[in-house]
């Protein structure tokens, strides 16, 4: 990872000076210095200002802004401005506009109004990036390049004729021949066999269920097409400024459209945008999942929170303002889990446009406001803990996460529509959070040897190699817990015949002959008192021992929770989706067996995470409750600048960061 920014944790946000008269710019920079801003993202949506007509560029205004920021000691994350083509482009190149699966054109008037496969878009975008890189590639203020913005947020797939051409090219590269494509797609079903490449289309609107493997391949293709757009811009930037790191802001843990495992290696700095669901009382737990997944995408290295909100957003059904202290607590939760600072959308709340009610660091009320005062306090706090830069989080617990399996498991015509992939992962992560255990997310093919415990909440699709990887993890002494409807199909969505759970049948010592999904709001009791939801199945032991069975109904006596010793490890199987209390109890039992321990004993509603550095370790304590919390600690509390000798008291809603004695 290339280092950034030069000397401090990142603190700042998207700055859009083109929305304001130039007389405001000097005031903005003065306020940034007051707040302790170290980095701003500049130019994200400025294509129409930088290239007002095709081939005619205007950089004078951007020169003045960058020089003004640099003079104040504020670094720049300079965007390529390609996320939103200007109206002249869409008018000149109407074939670049994206189309939906039912053939409707998506018109300009918002943002991302382009087809990722459009050659006109790629040509115009890289031409603009070339000019930007030539002009600013060696500017000392530019410490980070920001390619595009939230790729795929609004247009992750396009079904137009140009996309069809590129989809066929992608399929030729993947399969080599129509015979291999027909075999992979199972086109013997419903007379779908293709005799010519020109017959192959994107999975457009059809009279009934479409071909599932065609849909999965189109998901793969669509992710790859947007990644190709990113690479094209990145390569231009690297030619002009090879020492400046390049990123694009991901939307981790909530965005289904892109396979970020394939994106992360292409980024010098993994960055993420995260916004709370305002009405979710456990939004801080969801935040932890997003931060843990972002850190995992970064390979455990530090990463950057590129966007968050100082208070309310504008796009939820009810946009709830953050309560006093929540901004500080949310920010330090990201930093605790590996972020090298905190950035926000945006610096100054807009006076016009679709996001005018989205909170800013400078709100509509100006500096005489609670939000502004909290922003200034946060900037000072991040300055006090700057020494944590470069320290890392090192969990011994992991959950498997796979975008392609997510795409596949939520297709139509499955045993139930209630098995929601992200909700399954979220429930496991939340239970581990309540147990005080920090968790990595890992792809199925990853090296798992550093972990004591790995859980597989849902892995419908799995390759032979990944299944063998999990077997090796267990044989080497690891503890594995596999959830229901996992290991069912291969990469082409072909059922692994012979009984479920398919790829994991031998490892787990269980053979399932039939699924038995539960009715809406249905539940099933287990013999050990736990409660299952959504799913049950008729299983037989083929080497495992039964730890709990279904206690009533047609599956009474059938194993629901099993365990098998393999080599030096254990493989557990859960054939249902437990309710929250039951899942937490199970995970407490399994992680204890595996030897996993939280940094300090778990305390309801108190989040504790440790970052380890070369010279010191840092204990982050976030109190999400309305009562004081006391946790064991020894060292120097950096925010309050006080020594701690044995017990640390954190006030309700408070935050502490302890440099621990070694």
With residue 659 as reference, give the H or E element that holds it: strand 655-660
Residue 307: active-site member = yes
Annotated catalytic residue within 51, 99, 150, 233? 150
Sign of CA dihedral 639, 642, 648, 654: negative
The answer to whether 246 and 133 are in contact (CB under 8 A) is: no
Residue 283 is encoded by which pair of tokens? 């939004």
DSSP state of 321: P
635: alpha, beta or left? (left if phi > 0; alpha if psi -120 to 50): left
Closest to 290 measured CA to CA, from 333, 342, 341 = 333
The answer to whether 503 and 464 are in contact (CB under 8 A) is: yes
Residue 279 is encoded by which pair of tokens? 């009405």
- Round to whole Å and give the CA distance between 166 and 114: 15
Annotated catalytic residue within 99, 225, 233, 307? 307
What DSSP string describes 369-402?
SHHHHHHHHHHHHHHHTGGGTT-B---SEEEE--
DSSP state of 153: S
- Round to whole Å and give the CA distance between 459 and 403: 10
The answer to whether 77 and 146 are in contact (CB under 8 A) is: yes
Residue whose structure tokens are 């995470």: 609
- Round to whole Å and give the CA distance between 306 and 41: 9
Closest to 625 measured CA to CA, from 653, 600, 601 = 653
- Round to whole Å and give the CA distance between 477 and 479: 7
- 3-state percent helix, strand, coil for the chain, nearest multiple of 5: 35, 20, 45
- Round to whole Å and give the CA distance between 595 and 130: 53
Asked, as a colleague might, if the bond just before 346 is cis with ω within 30 of 0, I would say: yes
What DSSP string describes 325-386?
THHHHHHHHHHHTTEEEEEES-SB--SSSTTTTS--SB-TTTTSSHHHHHHHHHHHHHHHTG
DSSP state of 141: T
The answer to whether 482 and 456 are in contact (CB under 8 A) is: yes
Sign of CA dihedral 442, 447, 453, 459: positive
List C-alpha distances in Å: 555 to 149, 288, 452: 50, 37, 33
Residue whose structure tokens are 């300055």: 383
* Terminal alpha carbon distance of the chain: 28
- The catalytic site residues sit at 150, 307
């Amino acid at each position: 990872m290339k280092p950034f920014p030069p000397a401090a944790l990142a603190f700042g946000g998207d700055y859009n000076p083109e929305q304001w008269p130039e007389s405001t710019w000097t005031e903005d920079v003065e306020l940034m210095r007051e707040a302790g801003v170290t980095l701003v993202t500049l130019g994200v949506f400025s294509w129409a200002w930088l290239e007002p007509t095709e081939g005619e560029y205007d950089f004078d205004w951007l020169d003045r802004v960058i020089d003004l920021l640099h003079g104040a000691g504020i670094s720049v994350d300079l965007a390529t401005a390609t996320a939103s083509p200007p109206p002249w482009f869409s008018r000149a190149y109407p074939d670049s506009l994206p189309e939906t699966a039912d053939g409707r054109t998506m018109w300009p008037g918002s943002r991302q109004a382009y087809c990722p496969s459009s050659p006109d878009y790629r040509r115009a975008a890289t031409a603009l990036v070339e000019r930007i890189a030539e002009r600013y590639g060696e500017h000392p203020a530019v410490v980070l390049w920001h390619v595009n913005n939230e790729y795929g947020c609004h247009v992750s797939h396009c079904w137009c004729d140009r996309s069809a051409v590129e989809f066929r090219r992608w399929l030729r590269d993947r399969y080599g021949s129509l015979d291999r494509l027909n075999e992979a797609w199972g086109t013997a079903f419903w007379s779908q066999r293709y005799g010519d490449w020109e017959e192959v289309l994107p999975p457009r609107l059809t009279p009934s269920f479409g071909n599932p493997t065609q849909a999965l391949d189109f998901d793969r293709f669509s992710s790859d097409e947007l990644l190709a757009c990113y690479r094209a811009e990145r390569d231009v930037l690297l030619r002009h400024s090879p020492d400046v790191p390049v990123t694009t802001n991901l939307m981790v843990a909530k965005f289904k459209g892109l396979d970020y495992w394939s994106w992360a290696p292409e980024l010098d700095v993994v960055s993420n945008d995260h916004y709370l669901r305002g009405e979710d009382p456990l939004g801080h737990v969801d935040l932890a999942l997003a931060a843990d997944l972002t850190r995992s995408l970064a390979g455990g290295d530090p990463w950057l929170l590129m966007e968050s909100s100082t208070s309310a957003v504008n796009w939820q059904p009810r946009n709830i303002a953050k309560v006093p202290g929540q901004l500080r607590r949310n920010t330090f939760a990201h930093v605790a889990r590996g972020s090298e600072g905190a950035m926000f959308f945006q610096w100054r709340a807009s006076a016009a446009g679709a996001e005018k009610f989205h909170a800013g660091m400078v709100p509509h009320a100006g500096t005489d406001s609670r939000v502004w005062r909290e922003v200034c306090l946060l900037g000072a706090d991040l300055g006090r803990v700057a020494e944590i830069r470069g320290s890392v989080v090192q969990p011994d617990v992991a959950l498997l996460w796979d975008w392609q399996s997510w795409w596949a498991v939520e297709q139509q015509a499955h045993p139930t529509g209630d098995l929601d992939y992200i909700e399954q992962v979220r429930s496991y992560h939340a239970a581990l959070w309540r147990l005080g255990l920090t968790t990595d997310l890992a792809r199925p093919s990853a090296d798992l040897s550093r972990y004591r415990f790995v859980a597989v909440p849902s892995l419908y699709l799995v390759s032979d190699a990944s299944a063998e990887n999990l077997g090796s993890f267990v044989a080497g002494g690891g503890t594995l817990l596999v959830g229901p409807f996992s290991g069912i199909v291969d990469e082409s969505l072909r059922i692994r015949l012979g009984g479920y759970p398919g790829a994991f049948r031998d490892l787990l010592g269980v053979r399932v002959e039939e699924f038995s999904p539960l009715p809406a709001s249905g539940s099933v009791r287990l013999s050990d008192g736990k409660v299952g939801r959504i799913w049950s199945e008729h299983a037989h032991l083929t080497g495992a021992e039964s730890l709990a069975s279904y206690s009533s109904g047609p599956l009474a006596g059938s194993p629901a929770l099993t365990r098998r010793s393999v080599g030096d490890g254990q493989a557990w199987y859960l054939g249902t989706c437990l309710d929250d209390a039951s899942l937490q109890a199970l995970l407490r039992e399994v992680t204890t067996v595996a030897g996993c321990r939280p940094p300090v004993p778990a305390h309801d509603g108190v989040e504790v995470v440790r970052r380890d550095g070369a010279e010191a370790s840092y204990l982050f304590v976030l109190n999400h409750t309305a009562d004081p919390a006391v946790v064991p600690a020894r060292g120097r509390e950096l925010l309050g600048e006080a020594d701690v000798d044995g017990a640390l008291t954190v006030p309700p809603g408070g935050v502490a960061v302890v440099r621990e004695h070694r």
